[in-house]
Amino acid sequence: MGLGKEGIDSFLFLRKIRAAGGWRPKKVLGVGDKLEIKNLKSKVKNLIKKSKNIKLHFGKNYLKALKDYDLIIKSPGIPIHLPEIERAQKKGKITSQTEIFFENCPAKIIGITGTKGKGTTAQLIYEILKQKGLKVHLIGNMGKPALSYLLQARANDIFVYELSSHQLCNLKKSPHIAVILNIFPDHLDYFQNFKEYVKTKENIAKYQGKEDYLIFNSEDKIVRKIAKKSKAKKNPFNRKLENSFKNLSSKINTQNIAAAFLVGKLFRVSKAELKKAVKKFKSMPHRLELVGNYQSREFYNDSASTIPESTIFALDILGNKVQTLILGGSDKKLDFKNLAQKIIKSKVKTLILFPPTGKKIWQEIEKISRLNLPKPFFVNPVRNQKSSNGVNNMKEVVRLAYQYTQKRKICLLSPASASFGIFKDYKERGNLFKKFVKLYAKKFSV
C-alpha cells in the first residue's frame, strides 16, 4: 500500500518470494496507491504493467480494497488515522517493511531515532564501523530500503537503520542497539498530538531486553523518561561528553558525534579511530551545506531543517554573519515562538518567507518584538505552472537573496518547515536553491 521507494521495495520482495515458490497455497498479491496508474513515474508504471498475477487498486478509492486482504504492508507516509486504516489496524491486518525486517532479520540492528540529527548520526555510525572492517549496511531513510537486504542477511551482518516516527509506528520489536538523540514536537499533522508522537518514538526501546543496549541523550527530559522504562543496558551521553568533541568538526553536531562514539565503543572502536572517521566524514546534502561563495556572499543550504529547533541550531553555528534567512513551507502544526525570539536576537536583516508557515513565523515575531523590524518578503509559490523544476518560486527567492545580502555576509535557507505543497520534498527545495544560487552568480551585477 503506497508505491513510493519503500512500497516498491516491499512489492519486489514479495514478488521474489512468490517466484521462488515461497507461497503455498498460492496467495493473492495486490498493490494500491492513491495516484492513478497514468500518474505514476514511468519506471514504476512499467514495473506494474510487466508484473503478472497481481491485483491493482489505484485512484482515490483505493482504500476500499483493504477489507479484501489478510495482510497490508503500509508505506510510512500514508496517514494512520484514516478510517479504513484504523479499522484494518484494529483487526491486526496492518504491518510495515520495518516490522517485517525486525521480525525476520538474523543480524544485529542498530536503530537511530530523534527529531533531528538521526540521518547524520546513522551515516557517521556506518562510516565508523565500515572503517573498522565490519560487514555493515546503511538502511532506512538514509540508505536502501530494508527488505532489499533481508533475503541475503546473515548473523555477522550489522544494519544501521535510521528510524523515523512513521517507521516506528506500531513496531513490536526493538533493535539490539537503540539510539535516541532528542525529541521535539514534529509531524503534528500526521499524529493526533505530541503525546502520540512521543509514544511512537518509545517503540525503539520499548521491547528491548537485558542483553540489548540503549544509547540516549540524558539531558533531554522526554528521552530520559523513555530510557527509565527500558530494560536494556544504558549508555547515556550528556553535554560534558559532547564538549569533549567540540573542536573535532564544524560540520557535525557534537550530539551526533557523542552518540556515534558510544555505539563505536560497543564494537571496540577507539577514540583515535572515531576521530579519523569524523575528519573523513563528508557533510550530508541539505544539512548546513555550503553551496559556495558567490559575488562575495556565502550561501548555505539547510533544506533538511523541517522543525524550528534545527533552524535555531543553524543560526547558532553560523552566528552573526547570517543576514538573509529563508523560512517557511507546509504546516506541521509546530510552535515557532522560540524561533521568533532567536531571530529577534540575531543579526538577521532580511526574511524571505514561503507560505503558509512563513506568515505564522512573522506573526510570532510581531507578537513578541517591540523593535521596528523591516517587513519581510512573502514569496508565494507559482500556482498552476508546471516545469522540470517543479512548482515553486525559488528563482525569485534567490534573486531577492542576492539583492539584500551584503558582501561578506551569509544567506541561509533553513525553512523550519516541511516542503510539501510547493516542492516535492526537502531535496527538491534544496537542489533548486543551489541551482539558482549558481545561476544568479553569473547574472547578478555587483
Superfamily for 289-443?
Answer: Mur ligase, C-terminal domain (3.90.190.20)
Beta-bridged to residue 61, according to DSSP, are none
Q: What angle do CA 141, 142, 146 make, to 5 degrees?
A: 60
pLDDT digits (tens, 9 = 90+) for 313-359: 999 989 999 999 999 999 999 999 999 999 999 999 999 999 999 99
Question: DSSP character for 281?
Answer: P
Q: Where in the chain is the domain with CATH 3.90.190.20?
A: 289-443
C-beta pairs of 280-287 under 8 Å, 24+ apart in sequence? 280/127, 280/131, 281/123, 281/124, 281/127, 281/249, 281/251, 281/252, 283/251, 283/252, 284/119, 284/120, 284/123, 285/427, 285/430, 286/426, 286/427, 286/430, 287/119, 287/120
pLDDT at position 386 over 50: no
Residues 257, 123 contacting (CB under 8 angstroms):
no
What is the pLDDT at residue 392?
A: 53
**Averaged pLDDT, 387-414:** 83
Q: What pairing do the DSSP bridges indicate for beta strands 233-237 and 213-217?
A: parallel
pLDDT at position 388 over 50: no
Cell readout for 19 is: 517466484
pLDDT digits (tens, 9 = 90+) for 168-190: 999 999 999 999 999 999 999 99
Tell me the pTM.
0.88
pLDDT at position 90 over 90: yes
Question: DSSP character for 373?
Answer: P
More confident residue, 291 or 424: 291
Task: With cut-offs at 50, 70 and 90, classify the pLDDT of residue 387.
Answer: very low
pLDDT at position 42 over 60: yes
What is the pLDDT at residue 444?
A: 62
Residues 436, 398 contacting (CB under 8 angstroms):
yes
Which ranges of 236-326 does DSSP label H, i.e. alpha helix? 239-243, 254-266, 271-280, 308-318
Task: With cut-offs at 50, 70 and 90, classify the pLDDT of residue 391.
Answer: very low
Cell readout for 115 is: 527529531
Q: Is domain 101-280 given the CATH code 3.30.450.40 in the classification?
A: no
Task: With cut-offs at 50, 70 and 90, classify the pLDDT of residue 421.
Answer: confident
pLDDT at position 232 over 70: yes
Task: With cut-offs at 50, 70 and 90, classify the pLDDT of residue 422.
Answer: confident
Cell readout for 105 is: 532479520
What is the pLDDT at residue 87?
A: 96
Cell readout for 196 is: 502520540
What is the pLDDT at residue 389?
A: 35
More confident residue, 188 or 372: 188
Query: What distance in Å separates the CA atoms of residue 212 and residue 60, rounded to the nearest whole number?
Result: 43
Query: What distance in Å separates the CA atoms of residue 383 and residue 39, rounded to the nearest whole number?
Result: 19
Q: Where in the chain is the domain with CATH 3.40.50.720?
A: 5-95
Percent of the chain having pLDDT more than 90? 80
* Per-residue 3-state assignment (H helix, E strand, C coil) for 106-118: CCEEEEEECCCCH
Residues 110, 177 contacting (CB under 8 angstroms):
yes
Mean pLDDT: which of 19-28, 199-208, 348-357 is highest? 199-208
What is the pLDDT at residue 224?
A: 97
What is the pLDDT at residue 381?
A: 65
**Averaged pLDDT, 243-261:** 88
What is the pLDDT at residue 371?
A: 66
What is the pLDDT at residue 295?
A: 93
Superfamily for 5-95?
Answer: NAD(P)-binding Rossmann-like Domain (3.40.50.720)
More confident residue, 386 or 246: 246
Q: Where in the chain is the domain with CATH 3.40.1190.10?
A: 101-280
Q: What average pLDDT does the chain have?
A: 91
Backbone angles phi, psi at 374, to 5 degrees: -65, 140
Cell readout for 22 is: 515461497
More confident residue, 194 or 445: 194
What is the pLDDT at residue 445?
A: 53
